Every structure is written in C-alpha cells, then in structure tokens.
Structure 1
Amino acid sequence: MKKILMQLKDYYGEYLLLIALAIVIGLIVGVVDAYFGMILLKITEIRSLSPFLWIPFLPLVGLFIVFMYQKYGKTSSQGMGLIFEVGQGENKVIPFRLIPFIIGGTWLTHLFGGSAGREGVAVQIGATVAHTLGNKLNLMKFQTLLIVIGMAAGFAGLFQTPIAATFFALEVMIAGKFIYPALIPALVASFVASTTSHFLGLEKFQVYLAEPFDFSLFHFLLLAIVGIIFGVVGSLFAKSLSILKSKMAMWFKNPYRRVFIIACGLSVLLLLLYQGRYAGLGTNLITASFSGQHIYSYDFILKLIFTVCTLAVGFQGGEVTPLFSIGATLGVVLANILHLPVTLFAALGYAAVFGSATNTLLAPILIGCEVFGFEHFPSFFIVCAFAYFFNFNQSIYGKQQILK
C-alpha cells in the first residue's frame, strides 16, 4: 500500500507541476498572442485602405524575409515542421529566435499583401514558449506534453476557442491518435491563454446563427454531400501546398530568385483582382460570407491559389484563417446552388475545410460550436466527419504522423 501511495504521489505531483506550468505558459502565450493578433489586424486595416501603396513592394519584402531567415534564422526556418519534429522526439531544440522571426515575417507578409494566415504563428509561439520553459526547468522528459500544451495555448490565445484548441493540439501531432496525458494541462493552458488575450483586448470572432435546420434522411444526405465537397477542397489545399513547395524548390534553386519572381506575379494579380480582395488573412471574405455581401463563385478557389503560392515561395504566416475564408465562401456558393441556409452552410464550410486540410476531426467540430453555437453540433459533426473521411489523409503539416 505504501508503495502504491508513493507512486500516486509521484504521478500526481508531476501532473500538478505540469498544470502549474500550463498556467504560466497560458499567461505568457496569451499576452504574446494578444499583441501579435491586434497588431496584425491593424496591419491588415492599413493595407486594405491603401493597397496600391503596399502590395507592389511584396517582392522586395520577400527578398528581405528570405535573407533574414537564410542569414540569421537557422533551424527556425523549418517552422511547424520543427515543432512537429520536437514533439515527436525527432529533434531536441526549438530556438527561441523562432518567435521574433515568425512574428516579424508574418507582419511583413501581411502588410505587403501576402495571402497567409496566423494560426501557425500562434501555435509556434506557444510551442516555443513551452519548450523553452521546460528546458530551463529541466523537464524535457515531458517534451511532447509541453509541446502539446504550448500548441493548445497558442491556438486558444489567438482564436479564443479553448476547447477546440485543446483537441487540436491533442490530435494534430499524430493523425488518428490522441495524446491524452496532456489533456488537463492543455485545457488549463488554453483557457488561461484565451482569457488573457481577451482581457488585453483581442476580440473573438463569433457569429450567432438563427437558421434552424430540421433533420431528416434527406437533410443528412445533403450534409454528407457538402461534407465530401469540403473534404476534397481541404485535401486539394494541403496537397497543392506540398506539391508546389517541392516544385518551386526544384524550378528555382535560388531562394531569392524564387520569392522575387513569384511575388512579382502575385502582387500584380492581387491588385488586378479587386484591388487586394485575396490579400492577407481573408477576414474580408469571412465577413462578407456572414453579412450578406456578394460572394463570387470563384472566391474560394482564387483564395486557395493565392495562399498556396504565397506560402510555397517563402513568405511567413499560417494557413488556417485562409482555410476559414475558403470554407466560408465555398459554403455560400453551395448553399445558393442547393437552396440551403446560407450563413449556416458558410459556418459548416468554415469548420470543415479547416478540419480536412489539417487532418483533424474533433477540433473543427468544436471550433464550429464555439464560434457559431453548440446548438448546431449535429450539423458540424456530420459535415466534419465526412470532410475528414474524404480528405484522403492529406495535411498542411508535412511532419504530421499518420497512424495506420
């Protein structure tokens, strides 16, 4: 009995230590996320007001970003790939310089019109903070758990969806397997980060859906069909990004030539196509989808193309917010074709395309519920389940392990 009590004491003592550390991680990451996010939104506003002043300089900024990473970034240039390697035990070090590099590179990418996101940045911030604290406290035997805790805090601090953030971190490292030992610390870190960033003034995107959706076999089939379409589009995004990164490296051996030439084309096209409609995060498209503004039938595919090209050549940022915009605009198109509730199906696309591209299931269901209301859980569950099944195991994270 004494031996059992000692084992329990050791186990829960370590677990309480992780929970205490999760609180610290959540506070730090929440602060960083808040100011990163608020400055990014201000940058987006500045560029949107004067697109012709900023977007033409995208090629020069691309050269600067590549130079800084080549000269000073070292392994931080691996971004999410490095986070996954450390979390899976294939690497041991995440340099702290990753944080200023990814934040600065993302701000510049967005200010000058690159089509990119912000989630990858927040997740990398969280993982780096957690890894650094663990290293300082000699807790590297918990390396994987710390990375998961940090990822959850980063996601939650930016999007303020702590439940979705927790399950995203638990399931994204290894598709098909949950890292359950990190559950409680990750949940604590998520709520602390979310509360902190909200307290500091970062606003949460939230839409309340009024449309009821009665369930029947016919409606189930409709949800399954749109879920499959969302799944294929998310898969297309992930596969295109992977292929284009590889092709760009093969076609343009010199990274400076690669980013400059492609960015020249991107800047011209971004201005020609509605003066920057497809630049930046894509929050303009998300707002349009839920406010009754006009959505073109090709918005989703053009946003997909611009985002893939931007990220494939060396610009910084995440993929998730563009995925939200791709899914929301596609949802509007499908709703109009099938005569379905527009904002509801925009919301379903918002969640399901993200889930498909990241090869996750519970996170998109829960982010749909946290942003649009838990009363729509059945719809999110059905659509995201079909999207997950029809993503063909593709993922925007090249280092994500696939459980066979």
Structure 2
Amino acid sequence: MKKMGKYKLFLFTIIRWIIFALIIGIIIGSTTAFLLKTNDFLGDGIRKNNPWLIYFLPLGGILIGFMYMNYGKKNGNDIAKGNNLVIEGVHGKATVLKRLGPFVYIGTFITILFGGSTGREGAAIQMGGSIAQSVIQFLKVNKLDTKIVLMSGISAGFGAAFGTPITGAIFGMEMVAVGKLKYEALVACLVASFVGHYVTEGIWGIKHESFHIKSVPEVSGFSFTKVIIMAIIFSLVSVLYCQLRHGIQNVSEKIFKKNHMKRAFVGGCVIVLLTIVLGTTDYNGRGLDMLEQSFLEEVPTFAFLAKLVYTAITMGSGFVGGEAIPLFFIGATLGNTLSSFIDLPLSFIAALGMIAVFAGGANTPIAAFLLSVEMFDGKGIEFFFVACFVSFIFSGHHGLWPSQKVYEPKSRLYRFIKGETIESVEKKDG
C-alpha cells in the first residue's frame, strides 16, 4: 500500500509539472513569436531603412532608464538585474517580478529600433520567468515546485527564441548553476521548451535563421589539436567580453550613482560616436547579415572586436535585450578571421566560434553542444563536443550572469566555497 501511495504521488507530481509546463509553453511560444516578429520589423524593416534613427539612441536610453528606475523595483527586487533576477528567483534569493517580461520587451524594442547592439534571448528568458512567476502565484505553486516552474520558463523562452527545443530544455537547468544539473526539472523543462517551440513555429509561422556548414575536416589528431587551440582562443574572447561588459556596468553605476537614465544616455552617445567614426551600421542592432556572411565569405578582420565593444557598451550602460546573438556574431566573425591562419573550412570555423564563445560566456557547455547539433544537423559533432568543454574550462569562473551559482569548480586550482556565485568568486580571485 505504501508503494502504491508513492507511485500515485509521483504520478500526480509529474502530471502537475506537465500542466504547468504546457501553460507556460503555450504563452511563451506566443509572446516569443511577437518578440521575434516585432524585432524583425523594427530592426530590418525600419532601422535599416532609416539609419538616422541611431541619433535617437541616447534618448531611447533615457526612456529605458526612466521606466526601470521608477517602475522596476518592488520589495527589494529590481528588474534591472534582468536574467540575474530570474536566476536568483530559481535559487530562492529573490522574487521574479511579473512586470519583468513586459518591461524587457519594451526595452528591447527601443534598443533594437535605435541601433543598440543586443539580441533577443534575454528578453525571451525574462518573459519566461515573468510568465512562470504569474503561474506560480495564480495557481499557488508550492515552494518545492517553484524552482522547477521558473526553470521551465527559461527553457520555453530559449527553445522558442532559437527554434532549438532540446537545447532549450537543458539550458533551463544548466543556466542557473555551474557544476550542477537539477534533473528533477527535466520533464517540465522539456515539455515547456517543445511546446514553446512548436507554438512559435507551428502556430505563428515563425522562421528562424539557419546557418550551414559546407564541409567539416576529417577526424584526426591534427584536426582536433587545431580545434582545441581555437576553442581556447574563443574562450578567452568570451572572458574579455564578460569582463568588459561587467566593468562598464560597475564603473557607470559608480560614476552616475546607479542613475540608469544618465548611464544609458552616455552609453548611447558613445555608440553613436563609434558608429560615426567607423562609418558603418554593421555593428548596430543584432548584426544578423554579417553573422550569416561570416559563414560564406571574408568579413572585416576586426569585426568580432567591434561587435564585442558595441555590445559591452550597450548592455553595460543599461540597455536591455539578449547577449546570445552578439556572442554568436563575435564567435563566428572571429572564426572567420582565424580561417586565414588555420587551414580548416571557413564555414566550419565560423560555426565553431559561434558555439564555443557562447559556451564559454554562458557557462553552459552541454546546452551549447546540443545547440550545435540542432543548428548544424549534427555535422562535426565530435569537434563541437570537445570545443564546448574546452571553452567552458578555459573561461574559468567568469560569465554573462554574475548570479550563477558555482557548485563544483572547473579546476582544483580555484579557491571557492560551494554555492558561491560567479560574482563572489571573481571578486575573491581578482
């Protein structure tokens, strides 16, 4: 009888998680479709045809700062933390505010329209956390299930944003902590990610960008050596981006005493100045055109560095959006540049850089590897597996999200206390 009771409880719990995930997946699939269509309309339809809109980026920054300063805080929780607030919500350190999703959407639209360098997954993830929090409160989800529901919101947002449901499922579990996966959340994350993806594509007809590897090198010790060397380079570039981005944020908050309006206005002015000096808008917005071009032909040698600086300034000064697509851009264009020195197929190196830089910056090697499988139809699977974990290890305890908890060190050389965050470990080692 006791065993029957356990099985009934187990079945009831699984069904409850699936219901929560279905609700979240359906809503997030629809909201993400709206996000993607609107971003395409604002970025490709309006901004590209009206390059003068870049001059309004500082004013857009003031508007974003005003919203976040005056309406972004409640009971000690601040939506300006973005993805970090969602991570802290999973760990029970904060409460994800329901307004987080709508605000990050508006902020992302403003950033994209006026030419800030940003992506979309941040908005989708934060909307996922926002919707998940609404489900938690409306259905009175208990504390034990709250973490799982929030992680399923992350999974739904990522899976729907990139059309990669398997990656999304794992990303929701891997994003929140380094060295630990909460497998208990797999069912909810998988359901939410697949439902979100199929609602976005199947119901709303969203077509995601596709990138193609024309050829891969033969598997050999020599080719693996090249891949490992490049993965180390990609990991170091991911660290450079993260450190510059967080450095700009910390310095600007200190100078302007956390006045988001002033921070974003100055950051917007710097982006405008850089755009004028370089004489191109290639590094404004998402940069999808050059990202796709990097798989086909040569791009400017230092395109990766320009995008790195643009994005670090944009995100570090208070604009909002996502950092995955900028990391894709940085990695792919850096790979394109390295192809002049390393005898490997151009499209393969671009793809390798795209995935490896993301793996190092996000601290999600498993999700990054699965992303390569889903994006490139499993081509070069051996190389991507090695590159993802090499980049993850060599990036050290750095990352996009300071609130990520570290449960196991990447090396015994690191001194840390179990459960510390990326931020605290960086301060200790720095």
Q: Is residue 213 from structure 1 mapped to residue 217 from structure 2 by the alignment?
A: yes
The equivalent of 1:12 in structure 2 is 11
| 1:153-201 deviation line (CA, Å, top 9, x unaligned) | 0001110101111111111111110010011221111111111111212
Query: Within 2, Cα distance between the matches of 1:159 and 1:396?
Result: 18
The equivalent of 2:167 in structure 1 is 164
The equivalent of 1:341 in structure 2 is 345
3-state secondary structure, aligned to 1:375:
coil
Return the offset for 1:352.
0.8
Say if 1:156 and 1:162, in contact at 8 Å, map to a contact too: yes
> Which structure has the highest helix share of the two?
1
The equivalent of 2:363 in structure 1 is 359
RMSD of equivalent CA atoms: 1.3
3-state secondary structure, aligned to 2:208:
coil
Return the offset for 1:211.
0.5
Query: Within 1, Cα distance between the matches of 2:330 and 2:219?
Result: 26
The equivalent of 2:50 in structure 1 is 50
The equivalent of 1:272 in structure 2 is 277
174, 188, 192: which one pairs with 1:185?
A: 188
Query: Within 1, Cα distance between the matches of 2:7 and 2:312?
Result: 49
What letter matches 2:139 in structure 1? Answer: L
Q: Is residue 256 from structure 1 mapped to residue 255 from structure 2 by the alignment?
A: no
96, 99, 104: which one pairs with 2:98?
A: 96
TM-score by length of 1: 0.96
What letter matches 2:49 in structure 1? Answer: L
Query: Within 2, Cα distance between the matches of 1:349 and 1:212?
Result: 14
| 1:348-398 deviation line (CA, Å, top 9, x unaligned) | 111110110011111111111111121321111011111111101211101
Q: Is residue 68 from structure 1 mapped to residue 87 from structure 2 by the alignment?
A: no
359, 372, 375: which one pairs with 2:376?
A: 372
What letter matches 1:177 in structure 2? Answer: K
| 1:93-123 deviation line (CA, Å, top 9, x unaligned) | 3222111110000000110010111111101
3-state secondary structure, aligned to 1:115:
coil
Return the offset for 1:259.
2.1
Say if 1:205 and 1:371, in contact at 8 Å, map to a contact too: no
Say if 2:171 and 2:364, in contact at 8 Å, map to a contact too: yes
141, 146, 152: which one pairs with 1:149?
A: 152
Query: Within 2, Cα distance between the matches of 1:339 and 1:115?
Result: 31
What letter matches 2:116 in structure 1? Answer: G
Query: Within 2, Cα distance between the matches of 1:213 and 1:373?
Result: 16
| 1:295-353 deviation line (CA, Å, top 9, x unaligned) | 11110011001100111111111111100000110111112211210001101111110
What letter matches 2:51 in structure 1? Answer: P
What letter matches 1:179 in structure 2? Answer: K
Query: Within 2, Cα distance between the matches of 1:381 and 1:282?
Result: 26
113, 134, 159: which one pairs with 1:111?
A: 113
Query: Within 2, Cα distance between the matches of 1:257 and 1:31?
Result: 34
| 1:246-272 deviation line (CA, Å, top 9, x unaligned) | 111122224333222232121121243
The equivalent of 1:226 in structure 2 is 230
**Any runs of at least 4 consecutive aligned residues in structure 1 with deviations exceeding 6 A, and if so which?**
none
Structure possessing the higher relative contact order (Cα contacts under 8 Å, 6 or more residues apart): 1
The equivalent of 1:136 in structure 2 is 138
What letter matches 2:382 in structure 1? Answer: P
Return the offset for 1:233.
0.8
What letter matches 2:68 in structure 1? Answer: Y
3-state secondary structure, aligned to 1:336:
coil
* Structure 1, 263-272 or 357-366: larger mean CA deviation: 263-272
Return the offset for 1:70.
1.0
Query: Within 1, Cα distance between the matches of 2:80 and 2:271?
Result: 22
The equivalent of 2:316 in structure 1 is 312
Return the offset for 1:209.
2.0
What letter matches 1:327 in structure 2? Answer: G
Return the offset for 1:86.
0.9
| 1:31-56 deviation line (CA, Å, top 9, x unaligned) | 0000111110111112122212x000
What letter matches 1:69 in structure 2? Answer: Y
The equivalent of 2:413 in structure 1 is none
Q: Is residue 302 from structure 1 mapped to residue 306 from structure 2 by the alignment?
A: yes
Query: Within 2, Cα distance between the matches of 1:175 and 1:28?
Result: 29
Query: Within 1, Cα distance between the matches of 2:89 and 2:232?
Result: 33
Return the offset for 1:210.
2.6
Q: How does 1:318-329 map to 2 (within 5 A)?
A: 318-329=322-333
Query: Within 1, Cα distance between the matches of 2:20 and 2:262?
Result: 44
Return the offset for 1:208.
3.1
Query: Within 2, Cα distance between the matches of 1:274 and 1:197?
Result: 37
Q: Is residue 238 from structure 1 mapped to residue 248 from structure 2 by the alignment?
A: no
3-state secondary structure, aligned to 2:294:
helix
What letter matches 1:126 in structure 2? Answer: G
Structure 1 residue runs without a partner (length 5+):
none
| 1:224-262 deviation line (CA, Å, top 9, x unaligned) | 000111111111111222222111112222433322223
Query: Within 1, Cα distance between the matches of 2:277 and 2:247?
Result: 26
* Structure 1, 99-108 or 132-141: larger mean CA deviation: 132-141
What letter matches 1:374 in structure 2? Answer: G
Query: Within 1, Cα distance between the matches of 2:43 and 2:197?
Result: 22
Say if 1:224 and 1:386, in contact at 8 Å, map to a contact too: yes
What letter matches 2:215 in structure 1? Answer: E
TM-score by length of 2: 0.91
- Report how many residues are paired: 400
Return the offset for 1:152.
0.2
390, 393, 400: which one pairs with 2:397?
A: 393
Structure 2 residue runs without a partner (length 5+):
409-430
